[in-house]
């Protein structure tokens, strides 16, 4: 059981097992571990717990949206009488739930969970390093993440409720406790939690960058790195450059809230009195927030695209098409993501010419994105597709990336944005392109590298059921939302009953909620499959998917330092699948080029 | 007790699934199957499912179009709205084509090339020509989209013509107020420190300044008398002193404002922004004349709101501390739209589209578009009515929904609003 896994709280029973294998103490092996593989598992388990919380939240507000004002035992079961009197969700708590659902999903699941899990697991294993550049900082990164998760969950229990100004926490709503109860202690905890989260993301990101640049094994040129590593690398750079800006935005907001400064506040008359604040601008916060916020979309998305590139190539038994173009598009997306933030702010009264510039840069991003889609399609073309659950999720990602990417072109057009800004169309767009794509990438990663993480196999049949139910539910939930949005229905509304003009589309809300429940139930299959397989799944072989990359040359049982002997040397690029003239349909990176064999460079 | 029962049922359900999985696992172990060996049957099943999914996906799409296509927003009721809808449809045509081509390729390949042991994948690592094509072609399409989009954007956001009707839309938690200029056709200056019960927008006039200063002096006197005539805990005393200091600061700034106003009027005379406020019409109704350009001046008292009129395809944020604008020309009157929609109760609606608090979901005001004559009559009537506002003590008005259901529960401050809003939902 030495390799069994393990959140700090889930393994009391295995403590003594651990002692047999290593001289390491229980604490240094499972809790304050500096081993990247263990830290990766810690990130994953924490993210799974956070995701469960966020999904339950979404179910509660979906019930309210489908059947407004009706009583649900489900709501009062989780929220109690205070926030769901007689089972009817309280309007303030509704805003609290959408806020924390968004925060958890974007930051704790799709940033911390996705990068934290897979950058940690795969960077050392795939570049051929014994561990991260700094195991200690890596450990700190996890524990900061853990602490911020605990604070975020704790904020649900404070008197006025959690932060409820939306996950973007725009001031003045987030700055003035008089304007909404959630802007009291709940908001303070939100900001403190995010500040600690940012510290975690920065510590992790610096480690990833340094490890990729300095600790590659002999022969692992940058142009021989798997696309996963390229994606994680660029993601880490984006995080390092953008998260500090969010930190400063959060600090200024904390000062406005508690020290009487006026960075974001001016000429406000609230709750019957004029405030002293003058001279600031709420729009400044939006600039700072979205300077992180837009790269954040790609911090979430790029790792998923990297993972699926790897999974699709492996399971198509075919090299990824256009390796260099894929790297180029990752770099282009990364660069462009820094100069598009204003497309979230077309209607804030900013100069229309500035808006035009952001329209231009934003639509430029569609080009590298299109290249990625076409390259995926060509990789599938004439492949020999092994339908592993990971492969299904990867193909699913391409489908959501197409559907969500196309609606992005509408939203990026400032003129069209006028009438769909902040409607359900936006909700549909970003859930499909960012939420679903990223979570599909994460699932693909979990199914694919589960054998590497836990030395066990997950159940394939349950994986199929999980994928197809999730895939159908994803479109069932988010596709109709486009129509709700095009009817003009705003997001973050507690109910639509006061607006006869939306009567035609409100029954779509029922459909959406039914699919949401189906989707949530499908995740129970996953949770069961995951935890059951961790403990009782069949033992994995060393290279179950017949992959070429270095992680499949390490032993199944985790050892500190990854390789028992010397670190292997790399001789070729990572995508020699079905290369003509080879007996097997894959050639690992460690196999030297034959005499006269040409190396493919994509 | 019910919670326990629910938990028990859940635990039993999980145990049942666990046993099923165990049985499955043992049988596959007996057959010597490994999880990573995807059987030909599984490959075929999933390949078929990709195709089935494609059909269902497209069917779902067309069903939504068929069932809900006519429930989207009706024809645009403004000049620029028509242009916007045309632009949107143009974009949809391009995007639908791309959508169907790429998805069909994706699902077709996913089904067609499912693994067969007797076949080897085609080793095809790159093709620069092909990659160039699918970089340049999307770029060309995007260039077209950008050019058309920006042209429309410039038309919509360009400056309003000088003779456009100026109307202010003023947002606060959780309602809208409109302000129309008086005979002079110009809206007067405002200052948030002058806001009180009869001056909800803080319009600057000599009278409003004098009145506000008197109010502040009265407030201060009251606190002063409390301090002198009651025995209070230290904390309370400090609090009252802080309040008095704040009143002094505010009064000081209002005095500055008065000086500025007097200087400005002395310099500019009738051109001063400070002389136009006295005859402004402040009203909780929103009427616009048909086919006349209107320049909406959008402001907020407290947090960010967004003035969104879906039928007009108009939207702009209301940001405290600044004035944003949106110009438009209504082209369909409320009455005509009622005929088009075959709905006697139809109204154009101004709604809030930026999260602003507990009653965000019900911050609305109907917009009436009518011919010039009817509008003029309404305006003349509106000018006679003094503004009717709730007393200042009940600062943020309860949400409109709350009013009919529970009008007695008008809250004393904004923190009490949630209770009212909840109450509104209960029959």
Q: Residues A157-177: pLDDT tens digits?
A: 999 999 999 999 999 999 999
User: B310 and B170 share a domain?
Assistant: yes
User: B272 and B284 share a domain?
Assistant: no
Task: Measure the CA–CA gap between A369 and A362, rounded to whole angstroms.
Answer: 11
User: B99 and B54 share a domain?
Assistant: yes
Helices (H), A218-351: 227-258, 282-316, 323-336
The domain total for chain B is 3
Let me know: does B317 contact B305? Beta carbons within 8 Å.
yes
CA distances from B293 to B120, B159, B167, B187, B338 (A): 68, 11, 11, 16, 22
Q: Say yes or no to pLDDT of B423 above 90.
A: no
A320-374 pLDDT tens trace: 999 999 999 999 999 999 999 999 999 999 999 999 999 999 999 999 999 999 9
Is B272 contained in some domain? Answer: yes
Mutate: best of A186, A286, A287, A385, partner B, most B CBs <10 A: A385
Task: Measure the CA–CA gap between A311 and A396, rounded to whole angstroms.
Answer: 12
Question: Of the given ranges (A363-367, A369-373, B21-25, B375-379), which has the lowest mean pLDDT?
Answer: B21-25
Tokens 């109704």 -> residue: B285
Q: CATH number, domain at A372?
A: 1.20.210.10
Element (H, E) at A411: helix A389-412
Task: Provide the pairing of β-strand B175-180 with B281-283.
Answer: antiparallel
Confidence class for position B103, pLDDT limits 50, 70, 90? very high
Is B10 contained in some domain? Answer: no
Helix (H, G, I), strand (E, B) or coil at A280: coil
| Close Cβ partners of B275 (under 8 Å, ≥ 6 residues apart) | B188, B265, B269
Is A545 contained in some domain? Answer: yes
**pLDDT at residue number A453:** 96
Comparing C-alpha atoms, which of B315, B318, B55 is closest to residue A268? B318
Tell the burial category of B97 from Cβ atoms under 10 Å away from its Cβ (0-12, 13-18, 19+).
exposed
Comparing C-alpha atoms, which of B10, B347, B131 is closest to residue A74? B10
Q: Say yes or no to pLDDT of B246 above 90.
A: yes
Let me know: does A291 contact A242? Beta carbons within 8 Å.
yes
Comparing C-alpha atoms, which of B134, B281, B273 is closest to residue B201? B281
Of B276, B311, B340, which residue is a domain's last?
Answer: B276
CA distances from A507 to A68, A102, A480 (A): 11, 24, 10
Q: What is the mean pLDDT of residues A10-30?
A: 57
Is A585 contained in some domain? Answer: no
CB nearest to B149's CB, from A88, A359, A486: A359
Confidence class for position B323, pLDDT limits 50, 70, 90? very high
Task: Provide the pairing of β-strand B364-370 with A273-274.
Answer: unpaired
**pLDDT at residue number B27:** 77
A348 touches chain B (CB under 8 A): yes
**pLDDT at residue number B407:** 37
Instruction: Please report residues of A whose CB lies closer than 8 A to that of B66.
Output: none
- Taking CA–CA distances from A171, the nearest residue in chain B reads B303
**pLDDT at residue number B387:** 67
CB nearest to B313's CB, from A278, A418, A492: A418
Is A565 contained in some domain? Answer: no
User: B289 and B266 share a domain?
Assistant: no
Q: Are B73 and A266 inside 8 Å of each other by CB?
A: no
ipTM of the complex: 0.92
Let me know: does A320 contact A602? Beta carbons within 8 Å.
yes
- The dihedral over CA atoms of B286, B291, B292, B294, expressed in degrees to the nearest 10, equals 50
B4 touches chain A (CB under 8 A): no
CA distance A556 to chain B (A): 15
Tell the burial category of B40 from Cβ atoms under 10 Å away from its Cβ (0-12, 13-18, 19+).
exposed
**pLDDT at residue number A99:** 97
Q: What is the mean pLDDT of residues B275-302?
A: 95
If you write DSSP's letter for every residue of B112-125 in order, what string do you get? HTB--TT-------
Residue B313 — left, alpha, or beta (φ > 0 → left; ψ -120 to 50 → alpha)? left
| Close Cβ partners of A62 (under 8 Å, ≥ 6 residues apart) | A512, A513, A516, A517
Quick one: DSSP state of residue A372?
H
Q: Say yes or no to pLDDT of A156 above 50.
A: yes
Q: Say yes or no to pLDDT of A1 above 70.
A: no
Is B380 contained in some domain? Answer: yes
Element (H, E) at B170: strand B165-172
Q: What tokens appear for A387 in the block?
A: 């339908």
Of B276, B304, B335, which residue is a domain's last?
Answer: B276
**pLDDT at residue number B2:** 67
**pLDDT at residue number B419:** 35
CA distances from B258 to A133, B197, B251 (A): 65, 20, 10
Confidence class for position B8, pLDDT limits 50, 70, 90? confident
Q: Say yes or no to pLDDT of B169 above 50.
A: yes
User: B121 and B145 share a domain?
Assistant: yes
What's the mean pLDDT when you consider all of chain B? 87
Is A134 contained in some domain? Answer: yes
Q: Which residues of B147-163 are buried (b: 16+ CB within 10 A; e: fewer)?
A: ebbbebbeebbeebeee
Residues 77..136 of A with a Cβ closer than 8 Å to B: which?
A: 77, 85, 88, 90-92, 95
- How many contacts (CB atoms, under 8 Å) link A and B? 408
CA distances from A32 to A12, A27, A28, A455 (A): 15, 6, 5, 21
Instruction: Please report residues of A whose CB lies closer than 8 A to that of B169.
Output: none
Comparing C-alpha atoms, which of A129, A150, A37, A119 is closest to residue A442? A119
Q: Which residues of B261-300 are buried (b: 16+ CB within 10 A; e: fewer)?
A: beebbeeeeeebbbbbbeebbbbebbbbbbeeebbbbbbb
Q: What tokens appear for A26 in the block?
A: 């229980």
If you write DSSP's letter for every residue of B172-219 in order, what string do you get? ETTEEEEEE--TTS-PPPB-GGG-BTTBTT-B--HHHHHHHHHHHHHH
**pLDDT at residue number A543:** 95
Q: Say yes or no to pLDDT of A24 above 80.
A: no
CA distance B167 to chain A (A): 17
Alpha-carbon radius of gyration of chain A: 24
Q: What is the mean pLDDT of residues A386-412?
A: 96
Helix (H, G, I), strand (E, B) or coil at B369: strand
Residues 338..397 of B with a Cβ closer than 8 Å to A: which?
A: 345-346, 349, 351-362, 364, 392-393, 395-396
Task: Measure the CA–CA gap between B165 and A101, rounded to whole angstroms.
Answer: 43
| Close Cβ partners of A142 (under 8 Å, ≥ 6 residues apart) | A39, A42, A43, A46, A116, A200
Comparing C-alpha atoms, which of A267, A302, A104 is closest to residue A197? A104
CB nearest to B84's CB, from A370, A418, A501: A418
Is B91 contained in some domain? Answer: yes
Q: Are B68 and A265 inside 8 Å of each other by CB?
A: no
The domain total for chain A is 1
Q: Are A282 and B193 inside 8 Å of each other by CB?
A: no
Percent of chain A whose predicted confidence (pLDDT) is above 70: 96
Between B234-268 and B206-229, two packed helices, what is the crossing angle to 10 degrees? 160
Contacts 24+ apart (CB under 8 A), B388-393: B388/B284, B389/B197, B389/B198, B389/B200, B390/B197, B391/B197, B392/A272, B392/B196, B392/B197, B393/A272
Q: What is the mean pLDDT of residues B365-373?
A: 96
User: B210 and B256 share a domain?
Assistant: yes
Quick one: DSSP state of residue B408?
G
Say whether the peptide bond before residue B174 is cis (omega within 30 degrees of 0).
yes
CB nearest to B418's CB, from A90, A472, A504: A90
User: B181 and B325 share a domain?
Assistant: yes
Share in percent of chain A as helix, strand, coil (round to 5): 65, 0, 30
**pLDDT at residue number B30:** 74
Confidence class for position B388, pLDDT limits 50, 70, 90? low
What's the mean pLDDT when you consider all of chain A? 93
**pLDDT at residue number B24:** 74
Is B414 contained in some domain? Answer: no
A543 φ, ψ to 5°?
-130, 70
Task: Measure the CA–CA gap between B271 and B273, rounded to whole angstroms.
Answer: 6
Instruction: Name the residue range of residue B215's domain.
Output: 204-276
Of B227, B249, B276, which residue is a domain's last?
Answer: B276
Let me know: does A305 contact A373? Beta carbons within 8 Å.
no
Task: Measure the CA–CA gap between A383 and A380, rounded to whole angstroms.
Answer: 5
B254 touches chain A (CB under 8 A): no
Residue B180's DSSP bridge partners are B281
Task: Measure the CA–CA gap between B59 and B62, rounded to whole angstroms.
Answer: 5
A55-72 pLDDT tens trace: 999 999 999 999 999 999
Q: Say yes or no to pLDDT of B274 above 80.
A: yes
Query: In chain B, what is the straight-line distance between the N-terminal and C-terminal CA atoms, in Å?
Result: 29
Is B405 contained in some domain? Answer: no
| Close Cβ partners of B76 (under 8 Å, ≥ 6 residues apart) | B82, B84, B85, B311, B312, B313, B331
A185 touches chain B (CB under 8 A): no
A598 touches chain B (CB under 8 A): no
Q: What tokens appear for B84 in the block?
A: 């916007």
Residues 363..402 of A with a Cβ closer than 8 Å to B: which?
A: 363-364, 366-367, 370-371, 373-378, 380-388, 392, 395, 398-399, 402
Confidence class for position A26, pLDDT limits 50, 70, 90? confident
Confidence class for position B422, pLDDT limits 50, 70, 90? very low
Is B335 contained in some domain? Answer: yes
**pLDDT at residue number B205:** 92
Q: What tokens appear for B47 in the block?
A: 């390949």
Instruction: Name the residue range of residue A298's domain.
Output: 30-553
**pLDDT at residue number A92:** 94
Element (H, E) at B152: helix B128-157
Is A5 contained in some domain? Answer: no
Task: Measure the CA–CA gap between B62 and B188, rounded to whole angstroms.
Answer: 53
Check residues B232 and B396 and name the one with the higher pLDDT: B232
Task: Measure the CA–CA gap between A162 and A548, rounded to whole angstroms.
Answer: 47
Q: Are B46 and A392 inside 8 Å of each other by CB?
A: yes
Is A393 contained in some domain? Answer: yes
CA distance A134 to chain B (A): 34
Q: Say yes or no to pLDDT of A585 above 60.
A: yes
CB nearest to B153's CB, from A266, A355, A461: A355
Quick one: DSSP state of residue A6?
-
- The dihedral over CA atoms of A420, A426, A427, A428, expressed in degrees to the nearest 10, equals 100
């Amino acid at each position: 059981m030495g390799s069994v896994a393990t959140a700090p709280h889930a393994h009391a029973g295995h403590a003594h097992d651990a002692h047999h294998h290593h001289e390491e103490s229980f604490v240094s092996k499972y809790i304050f571990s500096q081993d990247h593989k263990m830290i990766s598992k810690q990130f994953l388990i924490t993210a799974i717990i956070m995701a469960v919380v966020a999904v339950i939240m979404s179910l509660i507000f979906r019930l309210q949206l489908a059947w407004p004002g009706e009583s649900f035992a489900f709501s009062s079961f989780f929220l109690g009488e205070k926030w769901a009197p007689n089972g009817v969700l309280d309007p303030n708590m509704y805003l609290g739930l959408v806020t924390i659902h968004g925060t958890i999903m974007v930051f704790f699941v799709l940033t911390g969970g996705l990068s934290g899990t897979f950058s940690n697991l795969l960077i050392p294993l795939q570049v051929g390093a014994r561990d991260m550049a700094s195991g200690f900082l890596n450990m700190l990164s996890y524990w900061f993440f853990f602490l911020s998760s605990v604070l975020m969950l704790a904020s649900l229990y404070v008197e006025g409720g959690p932060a409820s100004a939306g996950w973007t926490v725009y001031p003045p709503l987030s700055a003035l406790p008089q304007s909404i109860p959630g802007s009291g202690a709940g908001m303070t905890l939100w900001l403190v939690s995010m500040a600690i989260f940012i510290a975690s993301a920065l510590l992790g990101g610096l480690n990833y960058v340094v490890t990729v640049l300095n600790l590659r094994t002999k022969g692992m040129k940058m142009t021989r790195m798997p696309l996963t590593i390229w994606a994680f690398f660029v993601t880490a750079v984006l995080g390092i450059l953008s998260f500090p800006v969010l930190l400063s935005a959060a600090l200024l907001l904390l000062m406005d809230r508690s020290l009487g400064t006026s960075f974001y506040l001016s000429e406000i008359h609230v709750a019957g009195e004029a405030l002293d604040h003058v001279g600031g601008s709420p729009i400044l916060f939006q600039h700072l927030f979205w300077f992180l916020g837009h790269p954040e979309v790609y911090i979430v998305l790029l790792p998923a695209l990297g993972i699926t590139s790897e999974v699709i190539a492996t399971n198509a038994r075919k090299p990824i098409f256009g390796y260099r173009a894929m790297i180029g598009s990752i770099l282009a997306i990364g660069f462009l993501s820094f100069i598009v933030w204003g497309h979230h702010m077309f209607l804030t009264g900013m100069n229309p010419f500035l808006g035009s510039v952001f329209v231009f840069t934003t639509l430029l991003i569609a080009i590298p994105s299109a290249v990625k889609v076409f390259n995926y399609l060509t990789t599938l073309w004439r492949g020999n597709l092994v339908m592993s659950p990971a492969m299904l999720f990867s193909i699913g990602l391409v489908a959501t990336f197409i559907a969500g990417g196309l609606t992005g072109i509408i939203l990026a057009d400032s003129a069209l944005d006028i009438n769909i800004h902040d409607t359900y169309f936006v909700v549909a767009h970003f859930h499909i392109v960012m939420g679903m794509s990223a979570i599909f990438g994460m699932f693909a990663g979990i199914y694919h590298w589960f054998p590497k993480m836990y030395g066990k196999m997950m159940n394939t049949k349950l994986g199929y059921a999980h994928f197809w139910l999730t895939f159908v539910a994803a479109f069932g939930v988010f596709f109709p939302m486009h129509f709700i949005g095009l009817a003009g229905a705003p997001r973050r509304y507690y109910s639509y009953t006061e607006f006869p003009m939306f009567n035609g589309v409100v029954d779509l809300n029922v459909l959406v909620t039914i699919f949401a429940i189906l989707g949530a139930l499908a995740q129970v299959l996953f949770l069961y499959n995951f935890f059951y397989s961790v403990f009782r799944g069949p033992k994995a072989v060393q290279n179950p998917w017949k992959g070429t990359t270095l992680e499949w040359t390490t032993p199944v049982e985790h050892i500190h330092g990854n390789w028992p002997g010397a670190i292997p040397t790399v001789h070729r690029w990572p995508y020699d699948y079905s290369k003509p003239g080879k007996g097997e349909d894959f050639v690992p990176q460690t196999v030297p080029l034959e005499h006269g064999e040409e190396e493919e460079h994509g | 007790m019910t919670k326990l029962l629910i938990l028990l049922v859940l635990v039993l359900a999980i145990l049942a699934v666990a046993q099923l999985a165990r049985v499955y696992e043992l049988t596959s172990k007996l057959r010597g199957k490994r999880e990573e060996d995807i059987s030909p049957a599984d490959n075929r099943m999933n390949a078929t499912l990709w195709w089935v999914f494609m059909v269902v996906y497209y069917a779902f799409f067309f069903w939504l179009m068929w069932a809900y296509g006519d429930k989207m927003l009706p024809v645009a009721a403004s000049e620029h709205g028509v242009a916007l809808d045309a632009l949107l449809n143009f974009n949809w045509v391009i995007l639908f084509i791309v959508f169907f081509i790429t998805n069909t390729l994706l699902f077709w390949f996913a089904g067609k090339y499912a693994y067969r042991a007797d076949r080897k994948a085609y080793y095809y690592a790159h093709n620069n020509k092909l990659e160039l094509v699918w970089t340049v072609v999307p770029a060309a399409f995007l260039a077209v989209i950008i050019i058309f989009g920006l042209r429309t954007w410039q038309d919509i956001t360009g400056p309003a013509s000088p003779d456009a009707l100026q109307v202010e839309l003023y947002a606060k938690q959780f309602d809208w107020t409109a302000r129309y200029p008086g005979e002079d056709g110009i809206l007067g200056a405002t200052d948030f420190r002058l806001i009180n019960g009869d001056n909800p927008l803080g319009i600057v006039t000599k009278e409003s300044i004098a009145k506000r200063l008197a109010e502040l002096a009265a407030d201060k006197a009251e606190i002063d008398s409390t301090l002198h005539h009651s025995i209070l805990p230290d904390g309370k005393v400090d609090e009252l002193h802080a309040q008095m200091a704040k009143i002094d600061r505010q009064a000081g700034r209002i005095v500055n404002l008065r000086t500025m106003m007097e200087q400005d009027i002395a310099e500019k005379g009738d051109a001063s922004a400070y002389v136009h406020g006295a005859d402004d019409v402040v009203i909780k109704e929103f009427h616009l004349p048909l086919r006349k350009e209107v320049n909406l001046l959008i402001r907020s008292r407290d947090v960010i709101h967004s003035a969104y009129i879906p039928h007009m395809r108009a939207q702009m944020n209301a940001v405290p501390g600044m004035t944003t604008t949106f110009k438009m020309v209504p082209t369909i009157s409320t009455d005509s739209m009622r005929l088009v929609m075959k709905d006697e109760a139809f109204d154009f609606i101004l709604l809030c589209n930026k999260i602003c608090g507990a009653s965000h979901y019900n911050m609305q005001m109907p917009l009436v578009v009518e011919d010039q004559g009817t509008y003029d009559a309404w305006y003349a009537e509106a000018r006679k009515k003094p503004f009717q506002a709730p007393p200042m003590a009940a600062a943020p008005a309860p949400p409109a929904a709350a009013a009919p259901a529970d009008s007695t529960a008008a809250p004393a401050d904004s923190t009490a609003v949630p209770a009212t809003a909840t109450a509104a939902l209960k029959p």
